[in-house]
């Protein structure tokens, strides 16, 4: 290599060294003027987080009914649709009453015949009673007529009962809502044959909802009526506190789990059948916690500013669970570290921190 080539190479190396910076990131040096920022400072402290056993559940209505007809007959009209709200007493559907009307006519005819038979039996009884007193008929003849009169009275009572029952069946031709609710399912169509015990539609009251879940035997043993649990429901942005009101002591023979029901607040707007996760408290654990306002996000990295000798240093942290306005720190700081707990969005690594109370007027100073 000649002298000229060596000179050029040395010059390139020198220029490269001049262009490099002291930045740990290896970036081109940029002059940074450190700020003095007034900000509240607090310690990383211990906090308590409840230990939870989380189980799957579902939202269920407290009132649910499968509506069936008490009459055998064809469904004539449907007066409601799926999703429709109804009030107690509203007409849901009606049954063709032709068969019922025929039964009423038959029962009425039987009643009239029994009434006529009783009138004849009474005339015979009155006549034979007079003759028996005059010794014109034997006791055996009088007893026979008396028995016929008694049977006629009993037949009239039976016929009257049958007539009244037949007429009452006509009321069942119009099926009405037993409570306020929403029609959630139709199990038959107009023209189909309805029979007692065969559901025609399903009605639910969604103003009073619960969460139903199955829990293991060891968890069931520590639960009590009135205990609260955290419920997370699909579609709800925040967890909901629910209260246990039913603990079924009999375990399912297959899964060996117990049914638990929790009442939801009436303000919750959710559909029945929605998936839920129920967190039952099972003790507590201690962990490092800081105010949520202490967390800053820099380019997708979450961290806090630790203050040492009045200088702020950014520490990347690993976050855990949140409790109210505080959040768990799993790694990245030590217990007792002094950190900036608010007014930290404009702070840069190396800035000088003037510690103030959080209630003070906080302003940045150049």
pLDDT single digits (tens) 136-146: 888 888 889 88
pLDDT value of position 366? 33
CA distances from 173 to 69, 83, 162, 185, 204 (A): 8, 23, 18, 20, 22
Residues of the chain with pLDDT > 90: what percent? Answer: 34
Residue 147: the pLDDT is 92
Give the mean pLDDT of the chain.
Answer: 83
Which pLDDT score is estimated for 365? 37
pLDDT surpassing 90 at residue 211: yes
348/346 Cα distance (integer angstroms): 7
* Residue 219 scores a pLDDT above 60: yes
- The predicted-structure confidence for 264-322, as pLDDT tens digits, reads as follows 987 677 888 899 999 998 878 899 999 999 999 988 899 999 999 989 999 999 998 88
Per-residue pLDDT, averaged over 333-346, amounts to: 89
pLDDT of 32 reads 58
Q: Is 70 exceeded by the pLDDT of residue 358?
A: no
What is the secondary structure of 146-211 as a DSSP string?
HHHHHHHHHHHHHHHHHHHHHHHHGGGGEEE-SSSEEEEEE---TTSEE-TTSEEEEEEEEEEEEE
Q: Which of 77, 58, 60 is nearest to 69 (CA)?
A: 77
The pLDDT assigned to 262 comes to: 95
pLDDT for res 102: 75
What is the percent of the chain where pLDDT is above 70?
89
- pLDDT band at 334, cuts 50/70/90? very high
State the pLDDT at residue 267.
67
* 31 vs 352 pLDDT, higher one: 352
- Check whether 125 has a pLDDT greater than 90: no
Identify the H or E element spanning 328.
strand 326-331
Say if residues 336 and 46 touch (Cβ distance below 8 Å): no
Q: How many CB atoms lie within 10 A of CB 185?
A: 12
Q: What is the pLDDT of residues 223-257, one digit of tens each?
A: 999 999 999 998 888 888 999 999 999 999 898 99
Measure Cα distances from 89 to 86, 166, 172 in Å. 8, 22, 13
pLDDT at 152 over 50: yes
Q: Record the tokens describing residue 10, joined without a space.
A: 């040395």
Q: From CA 83, how far away is CA 65, in angstroms rounded?
A: 15
Tokens representing residue 309 in the block: 């000798």
Model-level pTM? 0.54
Q: What is the pLDDT of residue 73?
A: 85
Task: Name the pLDDT band for 347 (thresholds 50, 70, 90).
Answer: confident
What is the mean pLDDT of the segment spanning 164-187? 85
Domains of the chain: 33-49+286-365 (2.40.420.20), 53-63+205-285 (2.40.30.170), 89-176 (1.10.287.470)
Residue range 13-61, pLDDT digits in tens:
333 333 333 433 333 334 457 888 888 999 999 998 888 889 999 999 9
Confidence (pLDDT) at 225? 94
What pLDDT does residue 30 have?
42
What residues does 87 pair with on adjacent strands? none
11 pLDDT exceeds 60?
no
Q: Are 114 and 158 in contact (CB under 8 A)?
A: yes
Per-residue pLDDT band at 208 (split at 50, 70, 90)? confident
Query: What are 183's two structure tokens?
Result: 């029609």
**pLDDT at 127 > cutoff 70:** yes
- Span 73-123, pLDDT tens digits: 888 888 889 989 999 989 999 888 777 777 778 888 888 998 998 898 889
The residue assigned the tokens 């969460």 is 211
């Amino acid at each position: 290599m000649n002298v000229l080539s060596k000179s050029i190479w040395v010059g390139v190396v020198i220029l490269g060294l001049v262009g490099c910076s002291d930045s740990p990131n290896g970036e081109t040096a940029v002059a940074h003027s450190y700020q003095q920022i007034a900000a509240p400072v607090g310690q990383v402290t211990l906090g308590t987080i409840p230990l939870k056993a989380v189980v799957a559940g579902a939202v269920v209505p407290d009132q649910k009914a499968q509506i069936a007809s008490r009459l055998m007959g064809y469904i004539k009209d449907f007066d409601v649709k799926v999703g429709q709200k109804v009030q107690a007493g509203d007409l849901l559907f009606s049954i063709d009453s032709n068969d019922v009307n025929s039964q009423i006519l038959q029962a009425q005819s039987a009643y009239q015949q029994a009434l006529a038979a009783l009138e004849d039996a009474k005339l015979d009884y009155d006549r034979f009673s007079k003759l028996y007193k005059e010794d014109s008929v034997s006791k055996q003849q009088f007893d026979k007529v008396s028995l016929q009169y008694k049977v006629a009275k009993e037949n009239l009572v039976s016929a009257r009962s049958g007539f009244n029952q037949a007429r009452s069946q006509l009321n069942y031709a119009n099926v009405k809502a037993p409570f306020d609710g929403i029609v959630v399912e139709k199990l038959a169509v107009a023209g189909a044959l309805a029979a007692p015990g065969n559901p025609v539609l399903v009605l639910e009251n969604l103003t009073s909802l619960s969460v139903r879940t199955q829990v293991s035997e060891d968890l069931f043993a520590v639960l009590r009526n009135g205990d609260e649990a955290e419920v997370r429901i699909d579609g709800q942005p925040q967890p909901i506190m629910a209260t246990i009101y039913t603990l079924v002591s009999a375990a399912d023979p297959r899964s060996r789990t117990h049914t638990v029901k929790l009442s939801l607040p009436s303000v919750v707007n959710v559909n029945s059948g929605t998936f839920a996760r129920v967190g039952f408290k099972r003790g507590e654990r201690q962990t490092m916690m800081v105010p949520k306002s202490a967390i800053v996000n820099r380019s997708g990295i979450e961290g806090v500013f630790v203050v040492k000798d009045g200088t702020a240093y950014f520490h990347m942290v690993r976050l855990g669970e949140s409790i109210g306005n505080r959040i768990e720190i799993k790694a990245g700081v030590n217990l007792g570290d002094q950190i900036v707990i608010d007014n930290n969005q404009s702070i840069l690594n190396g800035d000088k921190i003037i510690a103030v109370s959080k209630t003070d007027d906080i302003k940045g100073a150049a």
